[in-house]
Amino acid sequence: MADRGTVAAGSHSDEVSALVAKYGRLPAGAPVRLAKPTSNLFRFRAPSQGPGLDVGRFNRVLEVDSAARTAQVQGMATYESIVDALLPSGYSPFVVPQLKTITLGGAVAGLGIESTSFRNGLPHESVREMEILTGSGEVVRARPDNEHAELFRGFPNSYGTLGYALRLEIELEQVKPYVRLRHVRFGSAQECATAIAEICRDRSYDGEPVDFLDGTVFGAREQYLTLGSYVDKAPFASDYTGQQIYYRSIQQRQVDYLGIRDYLWRWDTDWFWCSRALGAQHPLVRRFWPQQYRRSDVYRRIVAWDRRHAVTDRIATLRGKGLNEPVIQDVEIPVDRLPEFLEFFHRDIGIAPVWLCPVQLRDAEGWPLYPMDPDALYVNVGFWATVPLRRGEAPGRFNRAIERAVTELGGHKSLYSDSYFEEAEFWQLYNRSAYQQLKEHYDPKGRLPGLYEKCVGER
């Protein structure tokens, strides 16, 4: 592996030199955008008119150091490719986000979370070093202990507005072949929140260890926590890539087993439950829907096409109905305020199911643009659907209500989807002074978009 890593490192250096030269040839003063083959953002806007910087070749695992339990990975490598490279040796990243085509650079610069986050934090917290092409066209090595430490800490939640991660050194953890799942039902949000806090504190439940923890809310009186534990052997292994659908099994089984790879991608086959809206869960449709196309990036392309051409909205208008507002968000709520948030959500928004994922930061110093309290346990609440609007009502009503509730409860909202914050409010929440200092240092000419313009801007 070391020899292959040396060759890969040499190739990477050549690719970096070529990219820097290309960046230097872009028109002076023109805004720069990232040209890449995949995206998991849900901000569907008119295409940028700025020149595109093609970073598609930065998509490989360069080297794995089993002794140090680290890997050198290029920023555009998808988690699917990273997992495929690491699992044969018995390793995995500390946190593997739910969808296959999320890239390592995207998860670090934006949002990434999963069922190990209650013990491993967020993806950027297991990064040891980043090689970043900054807005000024310079490539820097950012570490927590060097002259670019402020960029290292400010890069998470910057969404490509300070620069692009070309290579990252990440920590790895050893995995086992199977995961044993227990789906435990709770009758109230308060009971569920109490159990989350206790499990995260003890790393166990009913005397058994818990290595993975997430939850699914089907209604105010029906919520489940799914507790996963590594095991070497399994009496059976379920398969949810065919006719069976994972999230439905949560209500049907108390105990289940999955191979580690199938566990990591259990949500991807049906994009959690969102494939239902596209008809992919209907038994007859599913039978003829090619298995290789039952994956999140395919579904997202369908949604992007619909949003681009407003097909669903046009049909609703022809039928004399109001539009639907996309409500696609992940928010972090302090665990003790989770019952209040879910009460509001059931009453005023009405989307189900809803995903729960506990997260506690590993790093006590915190992250300037990711304003979460390192001493607090949060629960990520994820919801991805549409809500009917009254006839003639413009989208934004429901998302804005959620933003207000999250702020009032001391929570945090990720920025991968539509946001409706006023600019002053946005900067109160996302640390304007720290961001401006980094922007002036690493992108003084404003070649890259600003954080507010990119994440809120014109809708």
Per-residue pLDDT reduced to its tens digit, 48-71: 555 678 888 999 999 999 999 999
**Closest Cα partner for 222 from 29, 402, 38, 353?**
353
422: three-class secondary structure by DSSP: coil
What pTM, to 2 d.p., does this model score?
0.94
The pLDDT of residue 316 is above 50:
yes
* pLDDT band of 10, cuts 50, 70, 90: confident
Distance between CA atoms of 399 and 382, rounded to whole angstroms? 13
What pLDDT score does 306 carry? 83
- Give the residue-averaged pLDDT of 216-238: 98
41: three-class secondary structure by DSSP: coil
What pLDDT score does 145 carry? 96
3-state secondary structure 157-223: CCCCCCEEEEEEEEEEEECCCEEEEEEEEECCHHHHHHHHHHHHHHCEECCEECCEEEEEEEECCEE
Q: How many CA atoms lie within 13 A of 241 on its CB side?
A: 15
What pLDDT score does 47 carry? 56
Distance between CA atoms of 426 and 329, rounded to whole angstroms? 16
CA dihedral 7, 12, 18, 24 (to 10 degrees): -150
Distance between CA atoms of 357 and 113, rounded to whole angstroms? 8
- Give the residue-averaged pLDDT of 252-272: 97
Each residue's pLDDT tens digit, 378-393:
999 999 999 999 887 8
What pLDDT score does 307 carry? 78
Distance between CA atoms of 27 and 194, rounded to whole angstroms? 56
In the chain, which residues fall in CATH 3.30.465.10? 2-44+53-175
- The radius of gyration of the chain from alpha carbons, rounded to an integer in Å, stands at 22
What pLDDT score does 120 carry? 98
Phi, psi of 322 (to 5 degrees): -75, 170
Which residues have CB under 8 Å from 455's CB, separation 6+? 43, 159, 415, 419, 426
Contact 35, 89 (CB under 8 A): no
* pLDDT band of 322, cuts 50, 70, 90: confident
**Closest Cα partner for 111 from 336, 420, 328, 400?**
328
- Give the residue-averaged pLDDT of 354-362: 97
The pLDDT of residue 83 is above 90:
yes
Return mean pLDDT, the chain: 92
What pLDDT score does 44 carry? 59
**Closest Cα partner for 121 from 415, 295, 427, 359?**
359
DSSP-assigned beta bridge partners for residue 33: 52
**Closest Cα partner for 374 from 153, 215, 166?**
153
CB atoms within 10 A of CB 184: 16
CA dihedral 191, 194, 200, 206 (to 10 degrees): -60
Phi, psi of 288 (to 5 degrees): -105, 0
The pLDDT of residue 304 is above 90:
no
Residue the block writes with tokens 């069976």: 244
The pLDDT of residue 434 is above 60:
yes
Each residue's pLDDT tens digit, 99-133:
999 999 999 999 899 999 999 999 999 999 999 99
Distance between CA atoms of 100 and 455, rounded to whole angstroms? 23
What pLDDT score does 42 carry? 64
What is the bridge-based pairing of β-strands 127-134 and 163-174? antiparallel
CATH 3.40.50.10800 corresponds to the domain 2-44+53-175: no
Q: What percent of the chain has pLDDT over 70?
A: 94
Each residue's pLDDT tens digit, 122-163:
999 999 999 999 999 999 999 999 999 999 999 999 999 999
374: three-class secondary structure by DSSP: coil
Q: For residue 226, with 0-12 CB atoms within 10 Å meaning exposed, 13-18 middle and 19 or more buried, which class applies?
A: buried
**Separation in Å, CA 237 to CA 96, 198, 324, 369:** 20, 29, 39, 41
